[in-house]
Amino acid sequence: MQSGAEERCFSEMASVCPIDEKCASQVSSLLQPPSSLQDYFDNLISTRPSQGIKVHQNTHLGKGVYAEVDFREEELVLKDQMLVGIQHSSNKVDCLVCSFCFRFIGSIELQIGRKLYLQNLGVSANDCCDMETSSHVSNNCFDTVSSDMEDESQVKNHQNLENCASSSSKDNISLPNGVVESLMNGELVLPYSNKFPIAFCCFLFWGMQRSILFKSCAETDWELFHSILCTGERSESPSREALSKFIQHANGTNDIFLLAAKAISFTILRYRKLEAAHQGGKHTSPDALDGSDLSLLLEAWKPISMGYKRRWWDCIALPDDVDYSDEASFRKQIKELAFTKEAELVTRPILDSLGDDYSICCQGTAFFPLQSCMNHSCCPNAKAFKREEDRDGQATIIACRPISKGEEVTISYIDEDLPYEERQALLADYGFKCRCPKCLKEES
Ligand SMILES: C[S@@+](CC[C@H](N)C(=O)[O-])C[C@H]1O[C@@H](n2cnc3c(N)ncnc32)[C@H](O)[C@@H]1O
């Protein structure tokens, strides 16, 4: 129940968002909890190689994942293909991966040569700038998916790489440029490198007949996400400059924006496909969404809505120094930041004073539709763990003790060995108070 003051506050908040004013009913439909949840997840699990689990609606914790069979300790419980994901920009210094399947691409020599090349330029993993070695990568998005929404101006200009470097690896002994180049262009083959082949990068999926089919990552990435977000030669964007600015801004501030952009482009492209199938390819503007278009949009949005919670300003964890009684006004302020030009005025001096190092801790973010249904426990029976063979971008969940049929599969979101108070503090950042058996016992 909201108090009168809170109600006023929330209704003031509603007036801040121009999209809410324009398409209130459509936005409200998109924000509804998804229906036909069980069918969706049953179907999704049937597309995964490991099928010994089921998603159920749990009375007090929402959705949860349950074992349909017994699992032995160390047995694979789930391999989950991400729906949308991004490699963190700082991580791009260290490894060149396919932006669709996240496998390493090229050769060991290319990976090493590229890292040394960037190191010689003084670009470190801590540099926030998004970059790519341009010389060896085709600019044709369809030929390669190695560059996930990079800032084109930086990609093409080595000078920028030098400018954005905040530290050089001065303790390392540099190799002559010729050696580095020959590693990158394949002229220099390192001894035994054929013992470490880099996996073939392609999208692997289960076809209708439950046989494995292959499609090039580039093709799939283009169809699912990139055709809307491309700023390269094949860009179809009517406002390429604005898109480039957005990508540049996201790379310089928080690349979660890129993940959000991918989720939105995924939805738009799915919508267009559904629309083409239903209406012979006629496009309507979102302003003119009628009932049938909206139902197509809801269908297109479904995979995202299955994991969707609330909007950012409604679900961001309350900082320690904000009292619960001030929650409504805190959320109002956060929402205003998202919608006013004042945001830049507030953040720019802070970003400027932080310099290039402010995104130092982030790694990359992805939405895994099944893994994200797994509830947390401080005494989990499974863990997210990459085995030697798990070299793709899929989430791998392994049983960390025997799991019996019918038991809920839980993982730990935090270090579960920490003391009770510290665990609760960390989980408060995820926005919940832990109700796992260990916490319930330690609480009393
Ligand atoms: C990644 S989701 C897990 C799936 C979630 N139950 C759902 O319905 O989508 C994490 C959310 O589940 C709930 N949750 C997970 N583990 C919990 C726990 N041990 N105690 C209380 N809530 C938990 C919290 O609401 C948390 O924000």
- What's the pLDDT score for residue 37? 86
- From 40, 61, 78, mutation site for ligand 1 pocket: most ligand atoms within 8 A of C-beta: 61
Cross-strand bridge partners of residue 411: 376
Can you give 245-286 as a three-state secondary structure string? HHHHHHHHCCCHHHHHHHHHHHHHHHHHHHHHHHHCCCCCCH
Q: Give the C-alpha separation, 355 to 211, whole Å.
A: 50
- Rounded mean pLDDT of 349-362? 46
Choosing from 58, 65, 376, 420 the residue with most ligand 1 atoms within 8 A of its CB, the one to mutate for a pocket test is 376
Share of the chain above pLDDT 90, in %: 25
Q: What is the mean pLDDT of the chain?
A: 75
Predicted local distance difference test score (pLDDT) of residue 264:
92
Q: In what order do the strands lie in the sheet with 76-80?
A: 76-80, 395-399, 382-384
Return the ligand 1 atom nearest residue 63 CA: 8
Closest C-alpha to ligand 1, atom 25? 432
Q: Helices 240-252 and 256-279 sit at what angle, rounded to 10 degrees?
A: 140
Q: Enter the tokens of residue 123.
A: 């670009």
Cα–chain center distance at 315: 17
* Residue predicted with more confidence, 224 or 191: 224
Distance from the alpha carbon of residue 56 to the mean position of ligand 1, in angstroms? 13
Of 38, 306, 432, the residue with max ligand 1 atoms within 8 A of its CB, to mutate for a pocket test, comes to 432
HSE-CB of 17 using CA atoms within 13 angstroms = 19
Above 60 in pLDDT, residue 195? yes
Span from the CA of 64 to the centroid of ligand 1 (angstroms)? 8
Of 422, 423, 424, give the one whose Cα is nearest residue 433: 424
Q: Which of 73-82, 190-199, 202-211, 263-272 bottoms out in mean pLDDT, i.e. has the lowest?
A: 202-211
The predicted pLDDT at position 138 comes to 35
Residues 384-396: pLDDT tens digits? 887 777 767 788 9
Asked if 41 and 62 count as a contact pair (C-beta separation under 8 A), the reply is no
Report pLDDT digits (tens) over 54-68.
999 876 888 999 999
pLDDT attached to residue 379: 97
Lookup: tokens for 178: 């010729």
pLDDT grade, residue 439 (50/70/90)?
very high
pLDDT given at position 410: 97
Residue nearest to atom 7 of ligand 1 (CA): 63
Instruction: Look at residue 169 in the predicted model and tell me its pLDDT.
Output: 45
Cα angle 367, 379, 48 (rounded to 5 degrees) comes to 35
Residue 265, token pair as written in the block: 């482009």
Residue ranges of E strands in 35-90: 53-58, 62-67, 76-80, 84-87
Q: Could you identify the residue written with the tokens 């790379």?
A: 251
- Please give the average per-residue pLDDT across 261-279, as a whole number: 91
What mean pLDDT comes out for the span 404-423? 96
Torsion angle (degrees, nearest 10) of CA 75, 79, 80, 85: 110
Statement: residue 341 has pLDDT above 70: no
Look up the pTM and report it. Answer: 0.64
The pLDDT value recorded for residue 416 is: 95
Per-residue confidence band for 422, with pLDDT thresholds at 50, 70 and 90: very high
Question: How close is the Cα of 431 to the center of ligand 1, in Å?
Answer: 9
Q: Convert the pLDDT of each residue in 29-51 to its tens digit.
A: 888 877 788 899 999 999 887 77
Task: Domain ranges for the chain, please list them.
Answer: 40-81+368-444, 85-306+351-357
CATH code of 40-81+368-444, in short, is 2.170.270.10
Name the residue with tokens 């070695």.
133
The better pLDDT of the pair 359, 314 is held by 314
For range 140-148, the mean pLDDT? 46
Mean pLDDT in residue range 109-117: 82
Q: State whether ipTM is beyond 0.95.
A: yes
